[in-house]
Amino acid sequence: MTPEVQRLERLAERLRAVDPATPSPGAKIRGWNLVLTAVEQSATVRSRAHPVRRLLLAAVAAAVLLLAGVIAASADSLPDSTLYPLKGVVENVRGALAFSPADKVRYDLDIARTRVIEAAAMIARHRLDLADRALSSLDDQLNDAALVVQAEKQSDPALAASLENRLVQAIASNDQQLAGLQGQATNPATVTAITRARDRAQGALQTADQPASSSAAGKSSASPAATGTGSGSGNGQGNGASASPHATGNN
Amino acid sequence: MQPLDKAASDDDRPLIERVRRGDQDAARILFERYFDRIYNYVYARLGRVEDAEDLAIDTMTRSLTRLDLFHDQGVAFSSWVYRIAHNATIDHYRREGKATLVPLESATMPVSADPADLALAQLSNDDLRGALRALTDEQQQVLILRFFQDLTAAQAAEIMGKSVGAVQALQHRALGSLERALERRPNN
């Protein structure tokens, strides 16, 4: 071992012998309190915003927003729109959630009003096929409402009278709009389709007036979501048959 | 100060997982295990009690709250804590505007220096600490880790991000520089 190495080893030994500096007890307590606070905050932040959870929440939120946006957009869609089938699904859900007679009539009349708007738009776009389906669907909705009124006449005449009054008003309002459309129409087929729809609306009023046993015509499927190609029975009677734009073979 | 052996580093792993889940008891154990060591390390670098306390607390806070940045892949938790302490020290120097030091290994060696005359036993701890702080950053670090912290060359190498051979060579140069710094003391 060279003298230099021996010197340095002695120096190293002297360094090892230096008393370790130790923090004061107060510093240690202060340090732990600060560390503890920071650890608690850190744990809270982590649990609040775990990266994977945050990503998942963002994805779910985006999906919900997207779905809500599509549904909202479909609410105003017309029969020639790609979103129109979704509108039917939403309408069917609404219909399934209408439990009381008053809710059912309100739902049917809402949908009927929508069908009038759709029919007017399709006539304006010279889509008579789609206009005809909308008109048929309109009549089916009115007929459904009429059947509810009819059924209520036995169990709750007062409610039935109120519902019938709403039905009459709705049909009168629809008829006014249909008459306007009819006046503007130049295509004979369009005029015929509107005339038929108006006749069937009046038929729905007759159905509401009849005793329940005499017109158990069954429920219709009058939403855009129903499948099929039915374009309306065109018999001028609210017989409850499916006359949806997509109804299945009931011609 | 107890040597920081490998077993202690192995014991850290389950504690780290517990701290990640918000376990305060585990955080307390790690705090107790490292706070004194880190204080000792930082004090040796700075020489001021108040600064050393603040930096040691800051180091432990960062270590135990940023565990998401610590990945137990080849580097022990202890090494990670020392690295944080070292970086905190460097930041402190920058903030305080520490004067740039001339590496002592390139300083002129007194011609008449006779190391045998160095009465090491007569040196106070403060003399040694003061002379140590006159060394370069790396030289201080290696001597503190090896002799104040009682770490092995391998542990120091992991903390400093160097090979064991490089640490041993650095340690040799650092001891030489320290010897010269002690010889140049004003009252020597």
Structure tokens at A7: 């010197």
Minimum CA–CA partner of B172 in chain A: A8
Tens of pLDDT, residues B145-172? 999 999 999 999 999 999 999 999 999 9
Cβ of residue B145 closer than 8 Å to a chain A Cβ: no
**Dihedral angle over CA of B44, B45, B48, B49, nearest 10:** -50
Q: Which candidate from B57, B116, B175 shows the least CB-CB separation from A11?
A: B175
Alpha helices, DSSP H only, in chain A? 3-16, 25-48, 51-75, 84-96, 101-124, 128-155, 157-184, 188-209
- SS3 assignment, position B98: coil
The answer to whether A244 and A140 have CB atoms below 8 angstroms apart is yes
Question: Tokens 């701890």 — which residue?
Answer: B125
Angstrom distances, CA of residue B10 to CA of A41, B3, B23, B27: 27, 14, 18, 16
Helix (H) or strand (E) holding B8: helix B6-20
How far does A32 lie from chain B, in Å, by closest CA?
A: 7
Structure tokens at A246: 């997509």
| C-alpha–C-alpha distance, residues B3 and B85, integer Å | 18
Q: What is the pLDDT of residue B56?
A: 96
Helix (H) or strand (E) holding B29: helix B24-46
Q: What is the pLDDT of residue A206?
A: 85
Q: What is the pLDDT of residue B22?
A: 84
Cβ of residue A29 closer than 8 Å to a chain B Cβ: no
Chain A residues with CB under 8 Å of B172 CB are 8
Cβ of residue B100 closer than 8 Å to a chain A Cβ: no
Structure tokens at A21: 């500096």
A23·B36 Cβ contact <8 A: yes
Question: Tokens 């923090």 — which residue?
Answer: A23
Tell me the average pLDDT across B22-43: 93
Q: What is the pLDDT of residue B151?
A: 93
pLDDT at A166 over 70: yes
**A182/B53: higher pLDDT:** B53
Residue B24 contacts by C-beta under 8 Å, 6 or more apart in sequence? A36, A39, A40
Question: Which amino acid is residue A71, in one-letter code?
Answer: I
- SS3 assignment, position A129: helix
Q: What angle do CA B65, A25, B33 make, to 5 degrees?
A: 45
Structure tokens at A171: 């049909």
| C-alpha–C-alpha distance, residues A101 and A57, integer Å | 40
Structure tokens at A238: 């609210």
The answer to whether the Cα torsion of A225, A229, A232, A238 is positive or negative is negative
- SS3 assignment, position B86: helix
Minimum CA–CA partner of B28 in chain A: A32
A10·B120 Cβ contact <8 A: yes
Residue A33: phi and psi, rounded to 5, are -60, -40
Q: Which candidate from A3, A24, A42 shows the least CB-CB separation from B65?
A: A42
Q: How far is CA B30 from the centre of its chain?
A: 18
| C-alpha–C-alpha distance, residues B81 and B61, integer Å | 10
The answer to whether B112 and B122 have CB atoms below 8 angstroms apart is no
ipTM of the complex, rounded to two decimals: 0.78
pLDDT at A45 over 80: no
| C-alpha–C-alpha distance, residues B53 and B38, integer Å | 9
Q: What is the pLDDT of residue A242?
A: 39
pLDDT band at B4 (very low <50, low <70, confident <90, very high): low
Tens of pLDDT, residues B88-143? 999 998 887 754 443 434 433 343 444 444 567 677 888 889 899 999 999 999 99
Angstrom distances, CA of residue A18 to CA of A22, A168, B21, B145, B183: 12, 104, 39, 13, 18
The answer to whether B38 and B148 have CB atoms below 8 angstroms apart is no
Angstrom distances, CA of residue A2 to CA of A8, A9, B106: 10, 11, 22
A3·B115 Cβ contact <8 A: yes
Mean pLDDT value across chain A: 80
Question: Which amino acid is residue B168, in one-letter code?
Answer: Q
Cβ of residue A38 closer than 8 Å to a chain B Cβ: yes
Question: Tokens 């600490």 — which residue?
Answer: B129
How far does A53 lie from chain B, in Å, by closest CA?
A: 15
| C-alpha–C-alpha distance, residues A206 and A239, integer Å | 11
The answer to whether A145 and A105 have CB atoms below 8 angstroms apart is yes
Question: Which amino acid is residue B156, in one-letter code?
Answer: A
Say how many Å lie between the first and final Cα of chain A, rounded: 113
Tell me the average pLDDT across A232-245: 40
Angstrom distances, CA of residue A58 to CA of A71, B34, B85: 20, 39, 37
Chain B residues with CB under 8 Å of A34 CB are 57, 61
Q: Report the 10 Å Cβ neighbour count for A206.
A: 12
Alpha helices, DSSP H only, in B97-163? 125-132, 137-143, 153-160
A22·B178 Cβ contact <8 A: no
Tens of pLDDT, residues A57-72? 888 888 888 888 888 8
Q: Which candidate from A14, A21, A35 shows the least CB-CB separation from B27?
A: A35
Percent share of chain A, pLDDT over 70 = 81
| C-alpha–C-alpha distance, residues A136 and A104, integer Å | 19
